[in-house]
Amino acid sequence: REKPWHQDNAYFNVDSDSTKMVGVWIALSEVTAENGAMHVRPTEVAKMAPLPHFSRRDWQICDVEMDGRECTAVPLAPGGALLFSTMLPHGTPTNRGDTQRLALQFHFAPKGTQRTCDAARLTVFGGEGLGAHC
């Protein structure tokens, strides 16, 4: 199924300044544009900022926020991996191919990463709570 555009930090109760967290997406099968390769919006880490997320198809960045933006599909061979900042906008489209796409995902936080609560996370990423509309 589709995983709409999002930033992983929007799911984690950690300090929103935790731009040093890393996600690792490991392909267990061939990953192609047809079967739902990860799509990323290339950007410099220094320019990554929290974007409002909304409860639509999932906890996601509003579609219109991403429409027309440059994005790149990342096909991978089995065993290939994508390492990315947990602030990087990314998502996977619906599998439109005839093969499964299998992957594992892990997240790493540096020692000393501060834990927060839902309320603190939603103050940064919660679109509805910020008066933003999707």
Q: Give the mean pLDDT of 85-94.
A: 93
SS (H, E, C) the chain: CCEEEECHHHCCCECCCCCCCEEEEEECCCECCCCCCEEECCCCHHHCCCCCEEECCCEEECHHHHCCCCCEEECECCCCEEEEECCCCEEECCCCCCCCCCEEEEEECCCCCCECCHHHHHHHHECHHHCCCC
The predicted pLDDT at position 112 comes to 87
Q: Domain map of the chain by residue range?
A: 3-127
pTM for the predicted model, two decimal places: 0.86
Higher pLDDT, 19 or 43: 43
Asked if the 3-127 domain carries CATH number 2.60.120.620, the reply is yes
